[in-house]
Structure 1
């Protein structure tokens, strides 16, 4: 089982932020899955943020993020939308979780999709997830992804989504 952290860690935790990577690459990745990326001004609240700033937010098929939003957060929220049935996407506002299997598939997919973002990759994303405080049965994102994510991979494969 996996879960995003609560409460949020210190803003000083060293993780890749949206401002550190190609905005075009992030937007293209999301667009490839029928989603939009909305950039939020640095001093503005993030619409649809479940955990609050600087975490990414969801409203419909749009992922909202600021420059200080962690890349893992943007990918996590986007993957919530990607794994859910398309008919649910338009109704999402802030809370996208439907089930534990869907949450696990979201975590697995965010790791996989990190390879599509130049300068990120799955190894860095898993390290950032650990630094931010994600919780996994085997103690780290990497151990979970490599040794315990078969149910999440099956969930993704059944829906025709990347699972390796």
Structure 2
């Protein structure tokens, strides 16, 4: 799985900052604050996303996207567990795939492979199958809220 050590913190921090989030680097071996899954998985508290060098990129993007899809009033008080509904979870998964294209050396193809390797589960059997053939509800949820346009993932980017 691709980690932050593989791609570096700078581009990732810049991407998050463009969307009002802050990447907080945790020292190697340190406990990651706000991590739902523990170990090396990213954590979130408020508008901060916590990660170490060994944090998988898919994990960091997933937690960041949870923050991006939630209302700002909820974001201010979120700590560790961000999921509010299945619709929000699906939107988070969709958005992390779109945002992967904005990170040099990542891209949606690699991110979807890493999501499958980690154990994300979708009805159609793979992340790619879900994204390409079963994610209309997630895409519509994001579009209604203007979130795809705000991350540069409008219709043209989605069709790519």
* Bigger shift: residues 31-40 or 17-26: 17-26
TM-score by length of 1: 0.90
Match of 1:38 among 17, 24, 49: 24
CA contact (8 A) 1:22 1:118 kept: no
How many residues end up aligned between the 2 structures?
Answer: 150
1:44-84 deviation digits (Å, cap 9, x = unpaired)? 10000001011000011000000110000000000000000
Q: Which runs of 5+ in 2 are unaligned?
A: none
Question: How far, CA to CA, are the matches of 1:153 and 1:47 in structure 2?
Answer: 30
- Shift >6 Å, 4+ stretches: none
Match of 2:46 among 51, 60, 81: 60
User: 1:22 offset after TM fit, Å?
Assistant: 2.9
Equivalent position of 2:102 in the other structure: 116
Question: How far, CA to CA, are the matches of 1:106 and 1:41 in structure 2?
Answer: 27
TM-score by length of 2: 0.92
Question: How far, CA to CA, are the matches of 1:80 and 1:102 in structure 2?
Answer: 8
Q: Which runs of 5+ in 1 are unaligned?
A: 1-14
Superposition RMSD in Å? 0.7
Q: Greater relative contact order: 1 or 2 (C-alpha under 8 angstroms, separation 6 or more)?
A: 1
Q: Which has the higher helix share?
A: 2
